[in-house]
Copies of this chain bind each other. A is one copy, B any other.
């Protein structure tokens, strides 16, 4: 009845909640803050979400779905070469995490507070993603494209490498500032390059894999 709903109110609530959950954290953000930022009273929120928790779940579950979709598309684009696959996956996810840094950080940080079936869902989604990366690494090692002997003399452990790689891309999102020195594409190329190098891909192998770059040059 009040203002022009050029955008559906439920989406505006979600967008505001993302902003505030990101800035203040989920527990410290009150329903009153969210609604009054939209010129509404607290009760109005309950026409769109059953509870504060359900609002959080709406954000978190959409984000997880988007991550899995991004991963899937990257694999389709990559073809069969494990080097190319690792490159595409790290690049695409870095782009995702920088472009959706707020939702991603909220999801990572607050999913544990959801009511009880949900945290397990999120963990299993994370596990699927990790297994995908592990399989890329395993194939790459079998084809002798990745070099597993680390500086220091030890053999690299594939599950640890997969975790290290995935953690790294979220971190790009944590500190990325859209007004910073580098754009999303530059940053993604940097991270993809660093992570492929971390996986022990020799320079000549990388050259042979013809890795595309979205950024200029």
Which A residues lie at the B interface, using CB under 8 A? 25, 27-28, 83, 87, 109, 147, 149-154, 156-157, 160-161, 163-164, 167-168, 171-172, 174-175, 182, 187, 189-198, 200-201, 203, 206-207, 209, 211, 213, 215, 217
A204 to B167, CA, bound (A): 28
Evaluate contact between B150 and A164: CB separation under 8 angstroms: no
Copies in the complex: 2
- Tell whether, in the assembled complex, residue A189 and residue B27 are in contact, meaning their CB atoms are under 8 Å apart: no
A109: chain B residues at CB < 8 Å are 109
Q: Closest chain B residue to A195 by CB distance? A: B198
CA of A109 to CA of B112, assembled, Å = 15
Closest to A150 in B: B193
Q: Is the CB of B198 within 8 A of A197?
A: yes
Contact of A28 among B27, B153, B161, B190 (CB under 8 A): B27
**Bound Cα distance from A153 to B192, whole angstroms:** 11
For residue A174, which residues in chain B have a CB less than 8 angstroms away from its CB?
Answer: 167
Q: Report the separation of the CA atoms of residues A19 and B41 in the bound assembly, to the nearest whole angstrom.
A: 37
Tell me whether B27 and A151 are in contact (CB under 8 A).
no
- Give the chain B neighbours of A192 by CB distance below 8 A: 152
A198's contact among B25, B167, B194, by CB below 8 Å, is which? B194
* A174 (CB) vs chain B CBs: closest residue: B167
A102 CB, min distance to chain B CBs, angstroms:
15
How distant is the Cα of A22 from the Cα of B36 in the complex, in angstroms? 31
Q: In the complex, what residues of B have CB within 8 A of residue A211's CB?
A: 151-153
* Whole-angstrom CA separation of A168 from B201 in the bound complex: 19
State whether A164 touches B157 (Cβ < 8 A).
Answer: no
A27-B28, A150-B190, A197-B151 given as contacts; is B168 within 8 A of A164 (CB)? yes
* Contact A153 B213, CB 8 Å, known A163-B175, A167-B168, A168-B164: yes
- Tell me, in angstroms, the Cα distance from A191 to B160 when the chains sit together: 8
The CA-CA distance from A211 to B151 in the complex, in Å, is 8
The docked-state distance in angstroms from the alpha carbon of A83 to that of B150 is 13
